[in-house]
Amino acid sequence: MQNVERTMVNQLRRHGFDMDVIEQTPTPFYCYDMNLLNRTIGRILQETAGAPYVVHYAIKANSNPHILSTIAHSGLGADVVSGGEIRVALNNGFKAENINFSGVAKTDWEIQLGLECGIGCFNVESSAELQVINDIAGKMGKTAPVAFRVNPDIDAHTHRFITTGTAANKFGIAMDELDSVIDLSQRMNHVKLLGLHFHIGSQITQMQPFVMLCDTINHMVERYNRLGIHFEHINVGGGLGIDYSSPDEHPFAPFRDYFDTFKKGLAPLHGMPIHFELGRAIVASCGTLISRVVYIKENKGKKFALIDAGMNDLIRPALYGAHHVIQNLTSNERACETYEVAGPVCESSDVFATDCHLPLTRRGDILAIRSAGAYGESMASCYNMRPLPACVCCPAPEN
Ligand code: LLP
């Protein structure tokens, strides 16, 4: 191990990094702090203990098999959005009955696969989809368990690409169409209506949108109860955000506030099972993208640190302008410089940070791009014929 100050090493160890592994592994790669993942799951279990809450993990956030099997073995269910995710969930230890299948355009083979495996619930997004599910289930001699995804027209005040619950979005069934879709389902022979499903967006850091969601749910459930329609569960979706600016000070999402918001907000529902589908809040903090500086270059006074990770490895900054803290793990310099940290991909948007303050940085230094556990590895591509990023778990899995 060269170049690394003792204090820095200790700090890194606390956050699950093993510098020997980091220095010896070819970059770029994702490094997962499995202790932090386990502690995060522990907090969720603690905050939901005693409440009729069923937490599903939204697999799209990170479908790395080590992450999945850790989460599956902790007893959480899975939220999937494709046939591929159904398979990966089953292969990594999730039970079929604990899988909810969301997605706005489920294809026939995906519906068939879900029915064959006996998944817990299809979250249905249109009457057209309901019709297809009923037909396929009929042909297979099965009954499909369904919930209707409602578009509650609530603005989650997050990035427009990850807002899903307003009337302008493609997701869900409009509230004024729900009566007719429920009516339709009751005249079908091969679907069983279990509940209602909502998901208003992602990286939501204020509780207000969730408070509004609770009000909407209470009114809807009360109204349907009066009409003699009784749901078996309500699924409130996911969306809880994390603190991308202070990964070390706030490694956990505000789980207590979040679950308390629903405990208070949904009090009128008296013990009805509530499903959650959290992705980011479970896995974002435990992942770090590790990369090496390839060149330092200056253009008209502006310094660039060009690294070997690109937007194909982590697309969030390029796609959403997302901010991830970047640290130099190997520089001992006291003096700092401002760098644009950019990748090798032939796109001007392949930039991780424009005004990044780092200790003097040189070719060969190792940079850590933090809070990259959610929507990092799972959104990676081979653009520019680059290989998919590798991954390392700390500590390494036992098998
Ligand atoms: N349930 C449904 C139906 C969803 O569409 C999503 C995420 C989730 C649950 C989980 O949401 P979470 O708890 O992770 O916020 N790629 C974007 C995020 C896209 C979220 C898509 N849907 C990003 O990197 O910020």
As for how many domains the chain has, the answer is 2
If you measure from the C-alpha of residue 63 to the centroid of ligand 1, how many angstroms do you get, rounded to a whole number? 13
DSSP state, 91?
A: H
Q: Give residue 44's pLDDT.
A: 98
Question: What separation in angstroms does the CA of 342 have from each of 100, 130, 301, 328, 346?
Answer: 38, 46, 16, 14, 11
Tell me whether residue 341 is in a domain.
Answer: yes
Beta strands in the chain (DSSP E): 29-33, 53-58, 77-80, 99-101, 121-124, 144-151, 173-174, 191-197, 233-235, 274-278, 287-299, 302-307, 326-328, 336-342, 351-359, 366-369, 390-394
Token pair 């998919």: residue? 388
Considering the domain architecture, whether residues 257 and 186 belong to the same structural domain is answered as: yes
Q: Give residue 3's pLDDT.
A: 41
- Please indicate whether residue 202, judged by its CB atom, sits closer than 6 Å to ligand 1: yes
Token pair 């949904």: residue? 266
Task: Quote the CA–CA distance of 200 and 365 in Å, as a whole number.
Answer: 41
* Phi, psi angle pair for 155, to nearest 5°: -85, 120
Task: Quote the CA–CA distance of 122 and 124 in Å, as a whole number.
Answer: 6
Tell me whether residue 1 is in a domain.
Answer: no
Which ligand 1 atom sits nearest the alpha carbon of residue 374?
24
Tell me whether residue 399 is in a domain.
Answer: no
Of the candidates 81, 46, 36, the one whose C-alpha atom is nearest the C-alpha of residue 60 is 81
Considering the domain architecture, whether residues 215 and 347 belong to the same structural domain is answered as: no
Considering the domain architecture, whether residues 25 and 173 belong to the same structural domain is answered as: no
Q: Give residue 5's pLDDT.
A: 45
Considering the domain architecture, whether residues 255 and 362 belong to the same structural domain is answered as: no
Output the furthest CA–CA distance in the chain (Å, rounded).
Answer: 72
Considering the domain architecture, whether residues 115 and 220 belong to the same structural domain is answered as: yes
H or E segment to which residue 134 belongs: helix 127-140
* Phi, psi angle pair for 80, to nearest 5°: -120, 160
Q: Is the peptide bond before 395 cis (omega within 30 degrees of 0)?
A: yes
Considering the domain architecture, whether residues 210 and 346 belong to the same structural domain is answered as: no
The domain boundary, picked from 259, 282, 305, lies at: 282
CB count in 10 Å sphere of residue 153: 16
- Please indicate whether residue 380, judged by its CB atom, sits closer than 6 Å to ligand 1: no
Of the candidates 378, 374, 399, 289, the one whose C-alpha atom is nearest the C-alpha of residue 69 is 399
- Please indicate whether residue 79, judged by its CB atom, sits closer than 6 Å to ligand 1: yes
Tell me whether residue 222 is in a domain.
Answer: yes
Considering the domain architecture, whether residues 249 and 347 belong to the same structural domain is answered as: no
Which ligand 1 atom sits nearest the alpha carbon of residue 315?
24
Q: Give residue 330's pLDDT.
A: 93
Tell me whether residue 48 is in a domain.
Answer: yes
Task: Quote the CA–CA distance of 52 and 221 in Å, as a whole number.
Answer: 17
Q: Give residue 119's pLDDT.
A: 98
Which ligand 1 atom sits nearest the alpha carbon of residue 277?
9
Tell me whether residue 259 is in a domain.
Answer: yes
The domain boundary, picked from 245, 260, 282, lies at: 282
Q: Give residue 385's pLDDT.
A: 98
DSSP state, 60?
A: G
- Please indicate whether residue 44, judged by its CB atom, sits closer than 6 Å to ligand 1: no
If you measure from the C-alpha of residue 259 to the centroid of ligand 1, how many angstroms do you get, rounded to a whole number? 18
Probe residue for ligand 1, chosen from 213, 277, 286 as the CB with the greatest number of ligand atoms within 8 Å? 277
Considering the domain architecture, whether residues 55 and 160 belong to the same structural domain is answered as: yes
DSSP state, 377?
A: G
In DSSP terms, 233 is beta-bridged to: 195
If you measure from the C-alpha of residue 28 to the centroid of ligand 1, how many angstroms do you get, rounded to a whole number? 25
Q: pLDDT truncated to tens, each residue of the chain (399 aa)?
A: 444 444 455 556 665 667 888 888 999 999 999 999 999 999 999 999 999 999 999 999 999 999 999 999 999 999 999 999 999 999 999 999 999 999 999 999 999 999 999 999 999 999 999 999 999 999 999 999 999 999 988 887 767 666 666 666 788 999 999 999 999 999 999 999 999 999 999 999 999 999 999 999 999 999 999 999 999 999 999 999 999 999 999 999 999 999 999 999 998 998 999 999 999 999 999 999 999 999 999 999 999 999 999 999 999 999 999 999 999 999 999 999 999 999 999 999 999 999 999 999 999 999 999 999 999 999 999 999 999 999 999 887 776
What contacts 13, CB < 8 A, 6 or more positions away? none
Q: Give residue 304's pLDDT.
A: 98
What contacts 199, CB < 8 A, 6 or more positions away? 102, 149, 164, 165, 171, 172, 236, 237, 238, 239, 277
Of the candidates 222, 221, 286, 225, the one whose C-alpha atom is nearest the C-alpha of residue 252 is 286
- Please indicate whether residue 316, judged by its CB atom, sits closer than 6 Å to ligand 1: yes
- Tell me the CATH number at 128: 3.20.20.10
Q: Give residue 14's pLDDT.
A: 60
Tell me whether residue 221 is in a domain.
Answer: yes
* Phi, psi angle pair for 283, to nearest 5°: -115, -10
Question: What separation in angstroms does the CA of 380 have from each of 78, 342, 350, 388?
Answer: 21, 16, 13, 7
Considering the domain architecture, whether residues 266 and 203 belong to the same structural domain is answered as: yes
- CA angle, residues 319, 92, 85, in degrees to nearest 5: 40
Instruction: Take residue 309 and report the two structure tokens written for it.
Output: 């990770």
Considering the domain architecture, whether residues 65 and 195 belong to the same structural domain is answered as: yes
Q: Give residue 162's pLDDT.
A: 62
200-225 burial, b for 16+ CB within 10 Å, e for fewer? Answer: bbbbbbebebbebbbebbbebbeebe
Tell me whether residue 72 is in a domain.
Answer: yes
25 by Cβ neighbours in 10 Å (0-12 / 13-18 / 19+) ranks as middle
Q: Give residue 310's pLDDT.
A: 98
* Structural domain boundaries enclosing 73: 34-282
If you measure from the C-alpha of residue 293 to the centroid of ligand 1, how many angstroms do you get, rounded to a whole number? 31
Task: Quote the CA–CA distance of 119 and 143 in Å, as a whole number.
Answer: 11
Considering the domain architecture, whether residues 62 and 143 belong to the same structural domain is answered as: yes
Considering the domain architecture, whether residues 250 and 270 belong to the same structural domain is answered as: yes
CA nearest ligand 1 atom 19, residue = 162
- Tell me the CATH number at 343: 2.40.37.10
If you measure from the C-alpha of residue 298 to the centroid of ligand 1, how many angstroms do you get, rounded to a whole number? 38
The domain boundary, picked from 218, 250, 282, lies at: 282
